[in-house]
Structure 1
Amino acid sequence: MSGTFRSFVWDPLLLCSQMACMQGVFYTVSSSVILSSSFFGFTPSLATLFTATPSRIAVFAQLLSSLACAFALSHVVQRAKQCLDFTSTIHLFHLIAICLYTHSFPTTLTWWLLQISSVVLCTVLGEYLCMQIESREIKLVGVPSKYDL
């Protein structure tokens, strides 16, 4: 496959480590928001993170986590084509974690609307940021650009 631009090479270790990093960003930011809410009189708990009926703090934490994941996508994954895949996988693992924690499948409409809006926010912003990085001019060492003054 020589001569192809950005040819795809199957690398399961890279894929798993990227996914672990993205999942870590998601839960780190969510946990940080929930913990920092204790300064405002809220009692943080694991149930807030893995609830099927989201509270205001859980909604805020998840949406902020989606924003953080969008920025992380542009640095960890670096491909606009893969943003939806990674975002969907993050939220699929979150669904599995909630099912394991609560021993039930989430059925509330508000939880599903939160997940859909979180996926859309993370995917669209992540793709935008990745496209901005992908469209940057490639600097060659020693060759002046026509844009350099």
Structure 2
Amino acid sequence: MANGFYSTKRDPLLLALQILAMQALFYSSLLSLQAVVNYVFNYDNSLNQIFDIQAFRLRNWENITRLLVNVVNSVLMAIALRFVVCRAKLCLDFACTFYIFHFLACWISRSAIPTVASWWLLQLVCITITTVLGEYLCMQVELQDIPVLLGPRVDV
């Protein structure tokens, strides 16, 4: 490791594991939140609620709750960034990465590129919330004083 608090070298294995961890947290929290909402409002459980692009048209309360679940999930992902990534400088990179993977998953599951404007707007809002809140939380940790321990005190 280089001198200083953060290494200037990139560790590809660490980055890959952080991306995998964030992606797993993204889908597990999104699915958990959606399951809770489904239980509370008596909606049917379906993966379409996560991957269906048409589900984000604001036509009924079920779609509005899906939108709110995604916004709450973006807040949870910002908190996860604080613990998994721990660097304010990398929050935008990681937020964009797991939302790009979500875009690809939606594209593959529906065999079509998302064309619904509300879906794109939601993704941009969620990326913004995740990035800004994640950077704020990471900066709070980065700006903490570093305790210097000099050993036991001896009065002479």
RMSD value, Cα: 1.7
Give the structure-1-normalised TM-score. Answer: 0.89
1:91-119 deviation digits (Å, cap 9, x = unpaired): 00000000000000001110010000000
Unaligned runs of 5+ in 2: 57-62
1:127-148 deviation digits (Å, cap 9, x = unpaired): 000000000011123579xxxx
Please state how far the C-alpha of 1:22 moved relative to its aligned partner: 0.7
Count of residues paired in the alignment: 144
Q: Which moved more, 1:44-53 or 1:85-94?
A: 44-53
Aligned to 2:128: 120
1:35 aligns with 2:35: yes
Aligned to 1:11: 11
Please state how far the C-alpha of 1:57 moved relative to its aligned partner: 2.7
Aligned to 2:50: 49
Q: Which moved more, 1:36-45 or 1:126-135?
A: 36-45
1:71-110 equivalent positions in 2, closer than 5 A: 71-110=79-118
**Does the CA contact (< 8 Å) of 2:74 and 2:129 recur in 1?**
yes
Aligned to 1:147: none
Same amino acid, percent of matched pairs: 38
Give the structure-2-normalised TM-score. Answer: 0.86
CA distance in 2, matches of 1:112, 1:143: 55
Unaligned runs of 5+ in 1: 145-149
Q: Which moved more, 1:79-88 or 1:28-37?
A: 28-37
1:61-109 deviation digits (Å, cap 9, x = unpaired): 2111111110011111111010000000010000000000000000111
**Does the CA contact (< 8 Å) of 1:50 and 1:98 recur in 2?**
yes
Q: Which has the larger radius of gyration?
A: 2
**Does the CA contact (< 8 Å) of 2:22 and 2:81 recur in 1?**
yes
